């Protein structure tokens, strides 16, 4: 899943993550931890990844957290399948994504969760950003750089 290192211009290199089935890629600081997500519950299943700024960020299968460090941030990109059908609305989402288009997820357990859906290659994916209440500005900037690095394969 980790394809290689590239220069970042900061104190840490960037690692590229490629989702093996859908082919999307992101770049994230090598100091962060990637966790592949894949699960099935009844007729709903999902796959994707969560990237966390702390080794203590462990996403559950449902893309929530048992515990989330107050000083951590995380990024997630997940594609859901099955269950109630999702209607694709509008054209393909333009990348890079803009921070201003993310909205809070109401009723989500802590930490604060922001989300934006994207249409890509005929599918809908969900991009999540989690911000601990004591996260550093450096970590917040890093998670938004991950968001801007999203690349979808062209089909």
CA dihedral 129, 124, 30, 145 (to 10 degrees): -60
Name the band, by pLDDT with cuts 50, 70 and 90, for residue 17: very high
pLDDT of 66 reads 82
Burial of residue 107 (CB within 10 Å: 0-12, 13-18, 19+) is exposed
Pair 48, 118: CB distance under 8 Å: no
Q: Which residue has the higher pLDDT, 80 or 5?
A: 80
pLDDT digits (tens, 9 = 90+) for 67-113: 899 999 999 999 988 766 555 567 899 999 999 999 999 988 889 89
pLDDT at 9 over 60: no
Pair 68, 83: CB distance under 8 Å: no
Supply the pTM of this predicted model. Answer: 0.86
**Distances 23 to 1, 107, 137, 147, 152 between C-alpha atoms, Å:** 11, 31, 30, 16, 7
Average pLDDT over residues 124-142: 96
């Amino acid at each position: 899943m980790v394809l290689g290192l590239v220069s970042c211009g900061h104190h840490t290199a960037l690692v590229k993550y490629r989702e093996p089935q859908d082919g999307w890629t992101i770049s994230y600081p090598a100091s962060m931890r990637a966790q592949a997500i894949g699960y099935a519950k009844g007729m709903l299943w999902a796959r994707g990844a969560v990237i966390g700024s702390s080794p203590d960020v462990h996403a559950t299968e449902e893309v929530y957290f048992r515990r989330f460090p107050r000083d951590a941030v995380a990024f997630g990109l997940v594609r859901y399948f099955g269950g109630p059908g999702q209607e694709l609305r509008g054209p393909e989402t333009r990348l890079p994504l803009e921070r201003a288009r993310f909205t809070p997820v109401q009723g989500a357990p802590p930490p604060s969760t922001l989300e934006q859906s994207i249409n890509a290659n005929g599918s809908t994916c969900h991009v999540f950003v989690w911000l601990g209440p004591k996260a550093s500005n450096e970590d917040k900037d890093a998670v938004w750089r991950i968001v801007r690095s999203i690349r979808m394969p062209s089909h």
